[in-house]
Every structure is written in structure tokens, then in C-alpha cells.
Amino acid sequence: MIGVCILGSTGSIGVSTLDVVARHPDRYRVVALTANSNVDGIHRQCLDHRPRFAVMSDPDAAARLRGRLAGTGIEVLAGMDGLEQVAADPDAPIVMAAIVGAAGLLPALAAVRAGKRLLLANKEALVVSGRLFMDEAVRHGAQILPIDSEHNAVFQCMPGDYARGLDRIGVRRILLTASGGPFRAAGRETLAQVTPEQACAHPNWRMGRKISVDSATLMNKGLEVIEACWLFGTGPDRVEVVVHPQSVIHSLVEYVDGSVLAQLGNPDMRTPIAHAMAWPERIASGVAPLDLFAVARLDFEAPDRERFPCLRLAYEAVTAGGGMPAVLNAANEVAVEAFLDRRLPFLAIPALIEETLGRLDAGGAATLDALLDLDRRAREMARSLIDGFGTRSA
């Protein structure tokens, strides 16, 4: 049986991964589960799946979990060292990287350096350290398979030798679909009054709070543009965002002969998870078949970069290169946290990010230490600016 390590097992991706694993008990076994501080959630998962290791990022949470798992034989580890240890454990050749935000970079990189099959749901790892991350994957023979529904769809629509370069395989453009989030048709007056509860109520997908807010601002799509550039070896000029409210077409690839290949399915993350876990085979995921008669129509429109400037900022950051995507991501994480804590208005999220981008020189960050230092400085800068934006809506 194939051992699986799930980084971020109590989040929505982690829960869906465990659902797929449970459907194939003769094929997969859980070696390690990790969480930040959700002791109740990971405790239940440990009793159900009996991993060798459970890791809590929070040391106090690890101590509580250790007491609750006494006598089970499950070893409880703590902190970043514990995360990196289980990510590199040779007993788990498949690692699901589903820790939210830049916090997932180091354990994902540990899996890459151990030559694993990395199921990458943590887009921030590539946003922060794209070139370094991809170079390490080549150096250590790791296999990176995308889990974001959009990038997994692109992967499915590409020929197997896409690493040779898009020109050589005849690809003209990558088209990433976006639902448009809960405020796709909202005016500025409505956006100025958005609450965290409203921003987290996605119309199509069940996701965590941070990624739900990113979807509402379209920053999630901006981060996906950056991720696509690294995964598929192209520039932002060949990655286009298309708003598709039904979330049935997950992305498309346009070829030079006029063909456009699309991957369709119900909006359920178990599809890309099962695809990546078993690739190149196909296994059951538990997702209901797509009923095109029930869908009835497929709509498309261009994203509005004036109402949703986060998408523009992401394109500008990846075009500028260097450490600018790392600054973008760090400032966004700080802004979203402040919004969820009701310390920042919804429309101030992109304003805070843009101000942070304008204040930091990020051109020379190429090593891991330099990128981590830049991430730290960007967070400090963004936090220092919050009070100035806390009373305005733009």
C-alpha cells in the first residue's frame, strides 16, 4: 500500500483527501496527519485513520493532543521541525501539501527535497519561491502534481511532455476560469459594506475562510496566475482569467491550431485530489457525475480589474519578478487576517497590498533565506500600515 502524509489534514482539502483515501483502503494508508491547533479535529482523524505520526504546529496544542492519544502508539510531534520530518519521511511517498499560506512553504519544500510526489494545494509555496521551488523539484527528482482545480484541469488538458515548453507543444494560451466569487455583480457601494460572513459564503465551493476571502477579492485567481506561470513554464501574458459563474469548466488550454481543450466536472475538490493521487490511473473519488442537462448553460465574462484590483496587482507582481510575488502574498495574508478580525474594510484589502508593494524593494531576493526575510519584512510593513486603512473603504 502507498503511504500518504497530509499536511493540513483538518482543513477542507485535508478532509477531502482523507475521504478519497478511505474509499481505497487496499491502495492507500495514512502515515502522518498535521494541523495547526485544531486538537479536536485531528484527534478524531487519528482515531479513524491510525497514522504513525500526528503533528501540531502549535506546541501547546501538541501537548494536549499527546495526552489524548496516550496509549494509541501514535507519535505526536510539534512545530516546523515536526512538519518537515513527516513531509520527508520515506514511508510516505505521497505528500498532500494543504497548509494554508506561506506557512506551508518549508514542509512542502522538505517533501520536494525528499523526492516525493507532491500534491500541491498550497499555491503560496510557488508564489513565494517559484524558481527556487521548481529548481529543487528538478534537482531531487520530485513530481509536482497540482491540486487547485484550475491547475489540475490545465494539467489534464496538456500533453505529457509540456515541460518541453508551450511553444514546442503548440499551446497558445492557458485560460484559468474563475467563479467571480460572491460579489461578481456587486457595485462599489455594496463592496464597501461587505462583512467577513458575506465574503466567506462562496456560491459554488466549500473552502476555508482565508481562501474564501481571496476568492471574493479575486486575489485567489491572481495567485493562481502566478502559480500557473511556474507550473507550466510560461509568462503572465499567456495566462488569461475568464469568469465562469457555474464553475463547471475548471480551466482550458488553447492550441495554435484553434483547438481549445477544457476539463469539466462538478465543483468538488475530490476530483483533482483523486486524479493526482492515482495519476496516471483513474480512481473513484466519490464525486457525483456531471449532469449537463441540469447545468443547462455555461456563461463567460471578462474579470473587472477596476472593481477587483487584486487581480491587477498579481499580474503586476509576477511581471516585475524577483521577490514581488512574495511581498504580494505576505501583504495579502496580513490584509485578509485584518479583514476577518474586522480591523480592515473589504475594499481596503487591495489598497493595503498596493501600498506595501510600493514601499519594499524586492528585486534581489533569490535564496530561501532572502525570500523568508522578505516575507517577514513585508508582513511587518503591512501590519504597520493597517491603522491608516482601518477607517477607509479604499
Q: What angle do helix axes 209-217 and 324-340 make, rounded to 10 degrees? A: 110
Residue % of the chain over a pLDDT of 90: 88
Q: Do domains 2-146 and 321-389 have the same CATH topology?
A: no
Residue ranges of domains in the chain: 2-146, 154-295, 321-389
Write down the CATH number for the domain with range 321-389. 1.10.1740.10
Q: What is the per-residue pLDDT for 110?
A: 98
Give me the CATH topology for the region 2-146.
Answer: Rossmann fold (3.40.50)
Residue % of the chain over a pLDDT of 70: 98
Angle at CA of residue 128, ends 126 and 130, nearest 5°: 40
Overall average pLDDT of the 237-243 stretch: 97
Helices marked H in 248-323: 270-278, 292-295, 309-320
Q: What is the pTM of this model?
A: 0.93
pLDDT per position as a tens digit, 104-156: 999 999 999 999 999 999 988 999 999 999 999 999 999 999 999 999 999 99
Q: What is the per-residue pLDDT for 394?
A: 41
Which pLDDT band, with edges at 50, 70 and 90, does 102 fall under?
confident
Is the peptide bond preceding residue 280 cis, with omega within 30 degrees of 0?
yes
pLDDT per position as a tens digit, 143-195: 999 999 999 999 999 998 999 999 999 999 999 999 998 898 888 889 999 99
Instruction: Determine whether 110 is exposed, middle or buried from the number of CB atoms within 10 Å of its CB (0-12, 13-18, 19+).
Output: buried
- Contacts by 293-301, CB closer than 8 A, 24 or more apart: 295/246, 295/248, 297/246, 298/244, 298/246, 298/248, 298/249, 299/244, 299/245, 299/246, 300/242, 300/243, 300/244, 301/180, 301/242, 301/243
Q: Which three cell numbers stand for residue 227?
A: 502559480
Classified as helix, coil or strand, 52 is: coil
Instruction: Give 301's strand partners.
Output: 243
Which pLDDT band, with edges at 50, 70 and 90, does 203 fall under?
confident
Q: Note whether 346 and 191 are within 8 A (CB).
A: yes
Instruction: Match 526575510 to its residue by C-alpha cell.
Output: 373
Query: CA-CA distances (angstroms) from residue 350 to 144, 198, 216?
Result: 30, 18, 12
Q: What is the per-residue pLDDT for 390?
A: 65
Helices marked H in 149-268: 149-157, 188-191, 196-199, 209-217, 219-231
Q: Which three cell numbers stand for residue 135?
A: 529548481
Q: Which three cell numbers stand for residue 148?
A: 487547485
pLDDT per position as a tens digit, 311-349: 999 999 999 999 999 999 999 999 999 999 999 999 999
